Amino acid sequence: MSLSNSASKLQAIRWARPRLDILDQLLLPHASTYIDICSSADGHRAIATMQTRGAPAIAIVAALSLAAELLGSSREKVSQLNTEAASAFIEERLDFLATSRPTAVNLFDAIRKLKAVVRNAATNNDDVVGAYVSAAEAMLAADVADNQAIGRLGAEFIRQRATGNELKVLTHCNTGALATAGHGTALGIIRSLHNSEKSLDHVYFSETRPYNQGARLTAYELLVEEIPATLVCDSAVSALLRSDPSIRAIVVGADRVARNGDTANKIGTYQLAITAKFHGRDFIVAAPTTSIDLDLASGAGIVIEERSQDEVLTTEGYDIESVLSGGELKRAAVRVAPVGVNAWNPSFDVTPADLITAVVTEKGVFVKAEGTKEFDLLQSLANL
Ligand code: MRU
Q: How many CB atoms lie within 10 A of CB 130?
A: 12
- Backbone phi, then psi, for 305, in 5-degree steps? -65, 130
Identify whether 255 is a catalytic site residue.
yes
H helix runs in 216-365, sequence order: 219-224, 237-243, 269-278, 310-313, 320-325
Q: What is the pLDDT of residues 144-195, one digit of tens each?
A: 999 999 999 999 999 999 887 899 999 999 999 999 999 999 999 999 999 9
Q: Is the distance from CB of 360 to CB of 189 less than 8 angstroms?
A: yes
pLDDT confidence tier of residue 54, bands split at 50, 70 and 90: very high
Q: Which atom of ligand 1 is nearest to the CA of 291?
A: 13
Residue-range domain boundaries for the chain: 2-143, 145-306+345-382
pTM, full prediction: 0.96
- Give the pairing type, strands 256-258 and 263-266: antiparallel
Per-position DSSP letters for 296-336, written without gaps between them:
-SSGGGPPPPB--THHHHEEEEE-HHHHHH-SS--EEEEE-
- CB-side exposure of 371: number of CA atoms within 13 Å? 0
Kindly report which listed range (58-67, 73-82, 118-127, 163-172) carries the lowest average pLDDT score. Answer: 163-172
CA of 96 to the centre of ligand 1 (A): 21
Q: Is 55 in the pocket of ligand 1 (CB under 6 A)?
A: yes
What pLDDT was estimated at residue 162?
87
CATH code, residues 145-306+345-382: 3.40.50.10470
CA of 56 to the centre of ligand 1 (A): 8
From 266, 303, 359, give the residue whose CB has the most ligand 1 atoms within 8 Å, as the site to mutate.
Answer: 266
The CATH number of domain 2-143, selected from 3.30.2310.20, 1.20.120.420, 3.40.50.300, 3.40.50.2300: 1.20.120.420
What pLDDT was estimated at residue 180?
98
Q: How many CB atoms lie within 10 A of CB 324?
A: 10
Q: In what order do the strands lie in the sheet with 247-252?
A: 229-232, 202-206, 168-171, 247-252, 282-286, 358-361, 364-366
Residue 48's alpha-carbon distances to 62, 98, 150, 216, in angstroms, are: 11, 11, 27, 19
